[in-house]
Structure 1
Amino acid sequence: MRNNLSKITLLFVIGIIFYSCSLVKRVPEGKLLLTKNEIYVNDKLVKEERINNLVVQKPNNKFLTYPLRLSLYNLAKKNPDSSYQSWLNKNPKRRTRLVKLLSEKQIQRFGKSFVVSGFSNFLKKTGEPPVIIDEKRAKTSQNRLSQYHYNMGYFDNKVEMTIDTIGKKRGKLSFNIATGSAYIIDSISKSIESKAIDSLYETERDASFIKKGEAFQYSNYDSERKRITQHFRNNGVYHFQENFVKFDNIIDEAQKKLEVVVKIEDRSVKEGDLLVKKPFNLYTISQINIFTDNSSRKGNNRINDSTTYRDYTIYSFGKLDYKPKAITNAIFIEKGKLFSDNDRTLTSKSLSNLKVFYYPTIEYVEDTSDTTKNALIANIYLLPRKKMELNVAADFSTSDIQDFGITGNLSLTFRNVFRRAETLQLSTRGNIGSSKDLANPKNVFFNISEYGLDAKLSFPRIFFPLDTRRIIRKEMLPTTNMNFGFTRQTNIGLDKENFTSVINYNWTPKEQKTVRFDLFNMQYIRNLNVDNYFNVYRSSYDRLNELAQDYNYIPTGENLTFPGAITFIDDAVNGTIPNLTPTDADYRTISSIGERRKRLIENNLIVSSSITFSKNTKSGFLDNNFYSIKAKVESAGNFLSLFNSSFNEPLSSNGNRTILGVEYAQYIKTEFELVKHWDFGKKNTLAMRTFAGIAIPYGNANSIPFSKSYFSGGSNDNRGWQPYSLGPGRSGGINDFNEANFKLAYSTEFRFRVGGNLFSALFVDVGNIWNVFDNVEDERYTFNGLESLKDLAVGSGIGFRYDFNFFVFRFDLGYKAYDPAREMGDRWLKGVNFGKTVLNFGINYPF
């Protein structure tokens, strides 16, 4: 034992020495590899990202505390071509033989080939050279730290920089900052030469970012400059720019105080060879011209048609193709109003929202005919999109059901259909895909197919019999969409036809907030191949087959035919099978399989209304510090229930009311989702998602249609389980496609950069589905209050992502960390081993 311990210790020490030496392999003598930056503010270590980012040099990137890219770089030969030349010249006969066999030119080119240099060049490109401490760059970091604290009001700060050796060819940079006391703003005054903007400044003086009694902060000055400019330019001051706002700081070093003077001088205007000072004035809009066929004033001389509508003059090259109201309703610039940047921005957004023009050009020119000399003419240049456009697209996709799919789309768009900027889009699509989870008796790769037709008519306004303009104002950019579609799915088991009809309204009440209201959403699902049920739901058939043998319904060794399985269910429910009574667990199992089959093969008619509210604070593609909220309430069946008596339709075999022979669904459904991202810098992000949803049947239904139910598991959910394989509750996912009407889910993952465009993530997913307030009574499946929370499944694992810039390919390895299907006391970590890895592939991040 002592010998083994000595050997292990020796190997460990040798490993440490080898590791230490290999990392500094490319570090020149007398130089130090940067291993750490330490910043102390008033003798306290600071780890704040924005301060640490001020240091120019950063240590080599690490993967799980190990500098993997540095190691890859060190593995490369320093000069592979030189090594090759040395090998050639070492033996003169070697070069002679190779020249006879090839040629001198080929021999030289071989030195630059992948065989000789390629792998080393690949390692250098993928890896990362050692970060050598550079004293000049360290001085730059020192100055940046000093400037940062100066901008925070610490005018007397001092920064000391030291370079410490902490091992062979290794070092660290330390910065010690003594801030001193912050300078406080003691008073604020103004010096504004133009009377018009002096009065305007006073109207919002209290909104200033610079406040008496607070410490000096440079960022507040920048924000105040922007605030003043925005305030002025939204209230008529056309010529005003940010650079007109200046600040004088009168510093009292003894008292550590300063007086701030806001200075705005009159503008300088060139008249001939002289610069003349002119006061700022407030400008009003005197005239608005709209050019519908050109993007610049160069084409004005080709105008041959014009019309005046209200206070707008609309020009066109030929006959005007648009009803004037359709255009003017999208314009917020009004005659007689003060010039406003907000009005220009809203007008640009609103005109773009019509989807019949490209992004407009809006120019202002001074109205020389106006006697006040304080008037502007607004010229709006519109470039129409093509009236008719054909688009062809192909896409590769993956989902929780479809492992791989190819989709083709063909769409034809007609713009300005009724001359009020309406858009009609007719499209057709086809898809073939592969799924290992679905019935595939012929064992073909593409075992899923689908095709569909869609028509979508869009109005850039609220299309409704009642006037909604007081509630949904035009600056909310409202739209109305009418969608009609037909889809047919084949080779996926039951095969389905899906007819849809939707009328919905969308608007943006405030920036980052959107509302969608589905006034009418009709979905009719017709199953075409119900006789194939037990081919699809094979586990249900296998269970029935076992029970049929147990009760001698069929001889041992034989199997139920699929029609025989239905007969077996009927005989069991009718009590014609000996020794099987309604109190038996097996009876309940058979009955449950029968009820589930009946529910999943029946055609569905869903007529619903819903409202969805969304908020997303993401400011751009690169913003990784944001949150999004989505809440939805949906109600189905109430409209049909209200008018059902007038149809005089017979009841179904279940005793429920029907429309055209089909039971209609009736339920209320609500969902809430919160996604939050925290950016830790250096491409490190913590992401979190919370979801809760419940659908409660009532009235004409005691269950939820399969298409409206919830499932758990899969690449965008709990990655420790395959899609549809988790739950309900602690049942163990015994069905082929497990679904329920109540779901809780929580996921979090820490994303970090490995190197280049390769990223990784550590994740934990928590959640499950349950039945509640429906026709399922088995307590293994149902949510029974807080005690059911112990059946929340926990999946965890590691993932890898490669960023292709326009999309991210994702590969996750999931494990069952806590499996509620197992007995209590045996649930933790039983599924955490490589043999039970659940592979998940996806495009882009899961949330």
Structure 2
Amino acid sequence: MTLFVKPGKLLLFFVLFISLVSSCTGVKYLEDGEKLLYNQSIEGIEKADKAELADQITLSPNIRFPIIGPVGAFIYETGENNFDTAAIHKSRRAYIEKIDAKIAEKQEKKASVAKLESKKARKLDRYQNKLRNGNFFMRTGSPLAVYSEDAIENSKSRIEIYLKNHGFSKATVEIETKEKKRKIDQKFIINEGPQLFLDSLILRTGDSTLTQLINSTASQSFLKQGEPYNKDNIDAERARLETLLKDNGYFYFTKGFIEFNAYFDPATRDLWLSTIVNKPADKPYHQVYKMDSIIFNTSGPEIPEDTTTFQDITYTFGFNDYSPKVLDTRLIFRKNSLYNYTNVTNTQRQLLAIDMFRYVNINFDTTLVEGQMIANLYSAPLKKFQLSQELGVNVSNSYPGPFYNLSFKNRNVFGGLEILEFTAFIGSEGVAQATSNESVLKSFQYGGNLTLSFPRFITPFRSRGLNLKTFNPKTAVSVGYAFTDRPEYKRTNINGTFSYRWQNLRGNKSYSLNISDVNLIDTLEVDADFRNLLNQLAEQGNTLFLSFNPSFVSSTSFNA
């Protein structure tokens, strides 16, 4: 059957369609007295970053699609028209009465109410989220861009502040608006004016030691002579100087002591910027502190059972006996060294990364000897034995496959902060049949892995120096077994690895060097149809059949 439409009727339909969708500009959703911000632009930009200036604007037009208009606003308004807060509050009160009655009933029977309390909290959170963010349509769409003079004036102020913070000290911003049929076309008209450049950088500290330290790192400064003035760079330089001084013994130094004064010549656009490090109120100079002694308490609230000293560090242990030799490789700061904030925080991170302590707090006592401090490290052990289990269902190829995972940890196995971890798994999943596309079959797997990890590099040579220079070093030895039962074959895999792992100082990048990764793979059974398929592929030059021969695979790899 062929459908014919006369050209005249088609044209009439098209005109009606265009008239209908073109009316969807958003104006019909406005209340009395409201106007729609329809178009917006920024003009007059020459040197400033236009994208960053646009980020200062707090009210922008709705995104419009060709012909159909602002879809996001249409979705939001549709949702808002059907959003009944009174009904939500009523439903919330009814639910609270119902769940509280169940909780009271459980309490009368002396039964646990933890699950009901948790369920109540989750449900109330969903009610609160709905009241705060609206229904699905309101969360999916975007509110109508109703023109607001206050919002536009606020955007203007933000743009002016941005320009002044980036060297355009005489910049001006004007607002221009045009209205047509309750739709506003609005412009920000910018006159940047001259941009200021850093002509001279001056440092004032009143302390020759401080001056020498700061000047020695001048190449790392965010303030460069000849570059445009930028307040963001000043904030970054203030933070850099604070870290620099804290890393060189100035324990009590904060960025509150740093101020910047700017002077500029209107005629030349040159700017002189002074960096001033003020002195403390109670002293004529900033005190530098050294480590007088370091005490590491690993017993938490327990009364220490044992005290020992290693590499000038005093260790006090409770019922858990840890190796001072191993802990020593995780401490970056030392006796008689200058206080170093970065080393202190990295020491704390390294100790927590061992997965042996619940917390690690580091406090400093500076009251005993002037210029000297005692570092006190307090920690509490995690449970020696830890068991976790996971039960669930994975859906693969439309087949629900149950699975069960188990993990068991034994901490500080030999007293050297080692962790012995056993993991096991069992489960099934749906797999496509290799010899046919007509059905989905079941695959069954189980296996386990035993891993012994050390919080240091284990090497045939002396490696204390290497461990001290490396962030979060670990050595892991593991053996594992896996069995797979598919319709086409049954296979076993015995695996053994010896690897080194470490991180960069920021902790956002990990490295792994697998010295040895050995796999012994054996195919126990192969289905006859699948064997025929492998033979056919082999005749065509495909070597897939080799994967099902008993094999020994050994490799060395590096991952970053």
TM range (shorter): 0.7 to 0.9
Length, aligned pairs only: 507
Q: Secondary structure at the match of 2:449?
A: strand
The code of the aligned residue for 1:132 comes to V
Q: Deviations over 1:303-354 (max 9, x none)?
A: 3432122211111334x51121121221011000000012102211221222
* C-alpha distance 282-47 of structure 1, shift in aligned 2 (>3 A): closer
Decide whether the 8 Å contact of 1:43 with 1:177 is kept in 2. no
Structure 1 vs Structure 2: percent identity of aligned residues? 24
The code of the aligned residue for 2:373 comes to L
Q: Deviations over 1:96-151 (max 9, x none)?
A: xxxxxxxxxxxxxxxxxxxxxxxx96544544331101111000001101110111
Q: Give the distance between the partners of 1:9 and 1:442, measured in 2 at CA.
A: 50
- Larger RCO, structures 1/2 (Cα 8 Å, 6+ apart): 2
Unaligned runs of 5+ in 1: 85-119, 269-275, 542-565, 570-588, 615-847
* C-alpha distance 396-222 of structure 1, shift in aligned 2 (>3 A): farther
* C-alpha distance 415-492 of structure 1, shift in aligned 2 (>3 A): farther
Query: If each structure's helix is expressed as a fraction of its own residues, which one has the higher value?
Result: 2
* C-alpha distance 129-598 of structure 1, shift in aligned 2 (>3 A): closer
Q: Give the distance between the partners of 1:57 and 1:152, measured in 2 at CA.
A: 23
Matched residue, 1:26: 29
Alignment of 1:671-710 (within 5 A): none
Decide whether the 8 Å contact of 2:169 with 2:196 is kept in 1. yes
Q: Deviations over 1:772-813 (max 9, x none)?
A: xxxxxxxxxxxxxxxxxxxxxxxxxxxxxxxxxxxxxxxxxx
Q: Indicate yes or no: 2:315 matched with 1:309.
A: no
Q: Give the distance between the partners of 2:482 and 2:183, measured in 1 at CA.
A: 65
Cα distance, 1:248 vs. partner?
Answer: 0.9
Q: Give the distance between the partners of 1:407 and 1:62, measured in 2 at CA.
A: 48
Q: Give the distance between the partners of 1:148 and 1:329, measured in 2 at CA.
A: 48
Cα distance, 1:14 vs. partner?
Answer: 2.5
The code of the aligned residue for 1:508 comes to Q
Q: Deviations over 1:529-568 (max 9, x none)?
A: 22x152488xx48xxxxxxxxxxxxxxxxxxxxxxxx7xx
Q: Indicate yes or no: 2:353 matched with 1:353.
A: yes
- Which region of structure 1 is more displaced relative to structure 2, 71-80 or 145-154? 71-80
Q: Secondary structure at the match of 1:498?
A: strand
Cα distance, 1:465 vs. partner?
Answer: 1.4
Q: Give the distance between the partners of 2:46 and 2:215, measured in 1 at CA.
A: 44
Q: Deviations over 1:212-247 (max 9, x none)?
A: 222211011111101111111111111100111101
Q: Which of 417, 421, 428 does residue 424 from structure 2 map onto? A: 428
Q: Indicate yes or no: 2:32 matched with 1:36.
A: no
**TM-score, structure 2 length as denominator?**
0.82
Q: Secondary structure at the match of 1:70?
A: helix
* C-alpha distance 47-181 of structure 1, shift in aligned 2 (>3 A): closer
- Which region of structure 1 is more displaced relative to structure 2, 357-366 or 466-475? 466-475
Matched residue, 1:534: 529
Q: Deviations over 1:267-320 (max 9, x none)?
A: 12xxxxxxx3442021100010101022xxxx48x33432122211111334x5
Q: Deviations over 1:431-486 (max 9, x none)?
A: 1111234569996x761111111101101111121335566654332111111111
Q: Secondary structure at the match of 1:495?
A: strand
Matched residue, 1:287: 293
Q: Give the distance between the partners of 1:211 and 1:188, measured in 2 at CA.
A: 8
Q: Indicate yes or no: 2:260 matched with 1:247.
A: yes
* C-alpha distance 139-309 of structure 1, shift in aligned 2 (>3 A): same
Q: Secondary structure at the match of 2:29?
A: coil
* C-alpha distance 324-527 of structure 1, shift in aligned 2 (>3 A): same
Q: Indicate yes or no: 2:156 matched with 1:208.
A: no
Q: Deviations over 1:249-277 (max 9, x none)?
A: 12322322221111111112xxxxxxx34
Unaligned runs of 5+ in 2: 88-133
* C-alpha distance 187-492 of structure 1, shift in aligned 2 (>3 A): same
Cα distance, 1:72 vs. partner?
Answer: 2.1
* C-alpha distance 474-349 of structure 1, shift in aligned 2 (>3 A): farther
Q: Give the distance between the partners of 1:190 and 1:47, measured in 2 at CA.
A: 30
Decide whether the 8 Å contact of 1:288 with 1:311 is kept in 2. yes
Matched residue, 1:154: 168
Cα distance, 1:359 vs. partner?
Answer: 4.0
Q: Give the distance between the partners of 1:479 and 1:4, measured in 2 at CA.
A: 79
* C-alpha distance 5-49 of structure 1, shift in aligned 2 (>3 A): farther
Decide whether the 8 Å contact of 2:447 with 2:480 is kept in 1. yes
**TM-score, structure 1 length as denominator?**
0.55
Cα distance, 1:414 vs. partner?
Answer: 0.3
Decide whether the 8 Å contact of 2:441 with 2:487 is kept in 1. no
Cα distance, 1:362 vs. partner?
Answer: 1.0
Q: Give the distance between the partners of 1:395 and 1:60, measured in 2 at CA.
A: 44
Q: Secondary structure at the match of 2:522?
A: strand
Cα distance, 1:76 vs. partner?
Answer: 5.0
Decide whether the 8 Å contact of 1:431 with 1:449 is kept in 2. yes
Alignment of 1:553-568 (within 5 A): none
Matched residue, 1:51: 53
* C-alpha distance 596-15 of structure 1, shift in aligned 2 (>3 A): same
Alignment of 1:362-761 (within 5 A): 362-368=362-368, 370=369, 373-397=370-394, 405-438=401-434, 447-468=442-463, 473-509=468-504, 511=506, 512-530=508-526, 532-535=527-530, 540=533, 591-592=539-540, 596=543, 598-612=545-559, 614=560
* C-alpha distance 73-610 of structure 1, shift in aligned 2 (>3 A): closer
* C-alpha distance 130-597 of structure 1, shift in aligned 2 (>3 A): closer
Q: Give the distance between the partners of 2:338 and 2:364, measured in 1 at CA.
A: 12
Q: Secondary structure at the match of 1:450?
A: strand
Decide whether the 8 Å contact of 1:155 with 1:182 is kept in 2. yes
Decide whether the 8 Å contact of 1:60 with 1:130 is kept in 2. yes
Q: Give the distance between the partners of 1:487 and 1:402, measured in 2 at CA.
A: 24
Q: Indicate yes or no: 2:196 matched with 1:183.
A: yes
The code of the aligned residue for 2:61 comes to P
Decide whether the 8 Å contact of 1:41 with 1:177 is kept in 2. yes
* C-alpha distance 429-158 of structure 1, shift in aligned 2 (>3 A): same
Q: Give the distance between the partners of 1:156 and 1:597, measured in 2 at CA.
A: 73
Q: Give the distance between the partners of 1:315 and 1:239, measured in 2 at CA.
A: 28
Cα distance, 1:62 vs. partner?
Answer: 6.2
Decide whether the 8 Å contact of 1:183 with 1:257 is kept in 2. yes
Matched residue, 1:655: none
Decide whether the 8 Å contact of 1:487 with 1:498 is kept in 2. yes
